[in-house]
Each structure stands twice: as C-alpha cells, then as structure tokens.
A = this chain, B = another copy of it.
Amino acid sequence: MRALALTPDGPVVRDQPLATRTGEATIRTVVAGVCATDLELVRGYMGFDGVLGHEWVGVVEDAPDPAWIGRRVVGDINAACGECATCAAGRPTHCPQRTVLGIQDRDGAFAERLSLPLRNLHSVPEGVPDEAAVFVEPLAAACEILQQIHVRPTDRVVVLGVGRLGQLCARVLALTGARVDAISRNPGRLELLPPGIGRGTLDEADALAGADLVVDCTGNPEGLALATKLVRPRGTLVLKTTTHDLGTLSPIPWILDEITLVGSRCGPFAPALRMLASGTVDPTDLISAEYALDDGLAALDRAARRDTVKVLLRP
C-alpha cells in the first residue's frame, strides 16, 4: 500500500506492507488530518520512525469480531496493554507499555490502511461527514480540559493560540457558557473563530488579565509566561501544547499566586463524537486544503505555513 512514512532521512511517500497485529482490526483510511505533532515528529521530536498520522476516519475491512466489518470508525490513538497497574487504575492513555498510532512504535494513518485493537474503535454516527469525523482526535483533546477541571458558566477564560488545537479548545470551552477570549498573533486565524468568542492580538492580551482559566495552545515558550501573567490568583492554567521544546520557567509565580497548572493531552472520543453529531461544534471551516496521499510531502509543507489551519490527506 501507499504510505507517508517518516524515516531517519526524513518523510517519504512509498509502498510498504501494512504492519498487521494479531487480534486487531484492519481499517481502510478514508481521510486523515495533519496535526502540529506530525510536524514536530518530522523535526525529530520523539525519534519516531514509521508511518505518520493519528487523525483519521476509516472503514473496518477486517476484524476479530465480524460485526465491526464495514463500519465507519475513528479510534483512540493510544493502544494500551490493558494489564498493568496504570491500565487497571483507569488511565490507559498513560500506560507505560502503550504504543501510539503514528507517534510511538505503531504505524499511523497516512496510509491506505491502518491497524488498531477493536477496543480503541468508535463508530461514527451517520450524520457526521468524514470531513468532520476526521477532527475527532483533536476535539477529544479539547474535551480533555473539561474532563480534568470544572469550568463554571460564570468563569472568564482566555485561550492563547488559535491554530489547529486552540480553535477546537476555544469552541469547546465556549459551550460551557463561560466568556471565552482568544489571543493570537495571526489575525487570519482569529477570523475563523465563531461568533460569541472574543478575539484579540498579542498587544491586546494585557487587558484580559485576571482570567479564571487560561489555556496555552501556542506551542511556544512565551505562551506559558503570558498565561502566568493573565491568570488571576488561585486561577488555573491548562498546558495544552505538546512540542519538543517549551523552554524553562521558574515556578515561583505559581506558588505566590497559588496557581493550579494542569497538563493536558489526549481526551475522550465519545463526547467529541456527540458534539460533532449534535453540531454544537463544527470544525469543517478549519480545513485549509486537501491533498492526495501521493502529494503527502507537499501537504506537510502546506501544514507548516502560517496561513494554514487543517490540511487533509486522502489515500
């Protein structure tokens, strides 16, 4: 099959067999999305070697339980062992033995087919188009914020950075009824925010000081420093950025102001699918371009451009 793989010499589109695993389902990829993490992996973050891609929607071609064959599905990217203490404690996304689709020891979705355990799969409701379902993984990551902390309808929330993930975080947080303001140095991205979400440039951020909750989706070292400046005493900072280098900070301001910092990563798929099915979050306006898998290298280049939000790949 055709696949966009990361090799020690960089990304290539090539022919390679599907690495099937015993007892797993084989899924035909319908469409996949390029994430900032993919770009980080290409830069050498995690030292990954294999097929990239962890945002996708597909159709089950083969499965240990034949009831799944033919279903349109999305899937949790963390394949946990299911047997260790961390899994037993209900934290499979932190299983120390886990493999991660397209990120760690497991070939990903930028290919004609992929393999995942059945327990990772979720059926996509009929009314959700492929171009929305492909956003379920980052939308689940945005839902993880609500899974971790209690956002009150009277809270004032600031989202820093409204690229791929920040857009989804701002939209999910706005569902709580809280006042949400988004800050970006990219005016074009601010324009993509739906009505009801405040927007400002970096120069305007200081006016938002005293926020109950600040979510850093910037992916750069300055984001957390600015977030620390904008949050109120005893407020909460959510760190929503995974990148190879966020610099270092002194913890002293967090102690003096009794700030709570919450690291936040992968989230639950079921609520994300419900939001897509109900239409309360519609991410399809974030699609900047679509490429054929054979043009995968051009797709990666396009995804790295500042005027781009989401790039889709279609095998």
Q: How far, in whole Å, are A148 and B192 apart by their CA atoms in the complex?
A: 37
Give per-residue flags for A258-295: 1 if the beta carbon is below 8 A from chain B beta carbons, else 0. Answer: 11111111000000000000000000000000000000
Give per-residue flags for A224-249: 1 if the beta carbon is below 8 A from chain B beta carbons, else 0. Answer: 10000000111000011111011111
Chain B residue numbers with a CB within 8 Å of A22 are none
Interface size range on A against B = 35 or more
Identify A254's interface contact among B86, B239, B255, CB under 8 A. Answer: B239
Interface of chain A residues 179 through 216 with chain B (CB within 8 A):
210
- Chain B nearest CB: distance from A228 CB in Å? 10
Q: How far, in whole Å, are A121 and B28 apart by their CA atoms in the complex?
A: 70
- CB–CB A234/B94 < 8 A: yes
Residues on A lying within 8 angstroms of B by beta carbon are: 85-86, 91, 94, 144, 148, 210, 224, 232-234, 239-243, 245-252, 254-265
- CB–CB A254/B250 < 8 A: no
- CB–CB A264/B255 < 8 A: yes
- CB–CB A258/B250 < 8 A: no
Chain B residue numbers with a CB within 8 Å of A247 are 250
